[in-house]
Amino acid sequence: MSEKNYKINTKCVQSGYRPGNGEPRQIPIIQSTTFKYDTSEAMGRLFDLEDAGYFYTRLQNPTNDYVAAKIADMEGGTAGMLTSSGQAANLFAIFNICEAGSHIVASSSIYGGTFNLISVTMAKMGIESTFVSPDASEEELMAAFRPNTRVMFGESIANPALTVLNIEKFAKVAHANGVPLIIDNTFPTPVNLRPIEWGADIVTHSTTKYMDGHGAAVGGAIVDSGNFDWMAHADKYPGLCTPDESYHGIVYAEKFGQGGAFITKCTSQLMRDLGCIQAPQNAFLLNMGLESLHVRMARHVENGQAIAEYLNGHEKVAHVSYPGLPGDPYYEISKKYMPKGGCGVVSFEVKGGRAGAEAFMKELKLAAIETHVADARTCCLNPATSTHRQMTDEQLAEAGIPAGLIRISCGLEDKEDLIADLEQALAAI
């Protein structure tokens, strides 16, 4: 049986590193910045991209490559790479095919850091953007495109809004405009959703979240599906389809084909020039997380579902958002894309606004107050008194973030203990 046919649970454990006879069972951490060669000619062939191999860890390191290969296999892609953070993954994935004068169409329901990256920092680089509602019709999405649009971007389950993207609709519109769709798949992970199966061309991750799963290492990943035909749109993607003068005139899409061009260019050009490599130590920790990801995701979903159901209809709770909850606007699409459930993040609004949220948070014993999500330990955040504390109650309401909103990331504890903790804290409101 070929590795490609293994089930996702087996891929989490086995894909990527396959040791030979007498080699270490666990992934070796290649803690070395450089690699030694016998002749300058041998090394020159690496620099010319004539041979595959390692010469400097800023570009590539074997430990990272084992883990990137595992994530690529889990997503059903042809090639993958690791980055130092999720932010770097989205920057690299977008900037690999955009330049000054390009335009991005992005879902408005995305992680705040990515929204800033696209709307502020990329604007300074001369890259324009238009944000669209994730629930927009095909016609509305079409209207956002311009002749200089080079990429469409969205999140499978958005952080923190928990909207579930209609990937098929976004992919259809992107492809009708001759551009690829990038999906940030951080929240469901490939255990619960594989965007490439629904039409996405490139998938990104903040591996800092469930993939690492222990709050131990910041990291990111990019996977290419190999499905987008760059050469058919060569006028739009000169970086992939015309000679790269910084690499002796290599044409990535010709030399590395549809399945290899995107990641090879991203590594040999952007990693070379911008850095942002993941430390091999962190890649090792990430792989430890991946080995149990399928087991952990099931428990995160079980706890998220139990807590969403407990909170829904509670007398101190005004509203609950969780795609696994019948009646949630994303319930149907969530069931279709994620039959095993999505993730363990639930958001809810306590009654009593800012004061209610403060009284509740103060009483929590198990759930810690953190600006993090998606690790083994349950944590909570009230945006009004933390990440969004400079905003007035009126501004918060306008942004769709009521003052009493709380985001809880359900960890791996026993759900009865978590519910008991919430129960005693809700009693304080």
Ligand X SMILES: *Cc1c(COP(=O)(O)O)cnc(C)c1O
Which residues of this protein are in contact with ligand X, per CB under 6 A?
Answer: 85-87, 111, 113-114, 155, 159, 184, 186, 206, 208-209, 218, 220
3-state secondary structure 285-316: HHHHHHHCHHHHHHHHHHHHHHHHHHHCCCCC
d(CA 235, CA 25): 47
Taking the least distance from each CB to ligand X, the nearer of 107 and 268 is 107
Taking the least distance from each CB to ligand X, the nearer of 208 and 269 is 208
d(CA 103, CA 122): 10
Least CB distance from residue 293 to ligand X, whole Å?
Answer: 16
Taking the least distance from each CB to ligand X, the nearer of 238 and 275 is 275
Least CB distance from residue 284 to ligand X, whole Å?
Answer: 17
For residue 169, which phi and psi values (nearest 5 degrees)? -65, -45
Taking the least distance from each CB to ligand X, the nearer of 87 and 129 is 87
Least CB distance from residue 275 to ligand X, whole Å?
Answer: 14
Taking the least distance from each CB to ligand X, the nearer of 214 and 354 is 214
Least CB distance from residue 373 to ligand X, whole Å?
Answer: 7
Least CB distance from residue 365 to ligand X, whole Å?
Answer: 26
Query: What is the identity of the amino acid at 302?
Result: E
Output the residue with the shortest Cβ distance to ligand X.
86
Distance of CA 403 to the CA centre of its chain: 27
Taking the least distance from each CB to ligand X, the nearer of 343 and 364 is 343
Beta strands in 181-293 (DSSP E): 181-184, 202-206, 220-224
Least CB distance from residue 50 to ligand X, whole Å?
Answer: 34
Using only C-alpha atoms, what is the Rg of the chain? Answer: 22
For residue 98, which phi and psi values (nearest 5 degrees)? -125, 155
As a 3-state breakdown, the chain gives helix, strand, coil percent values, each rounded to 5, of: 40, 15, 45
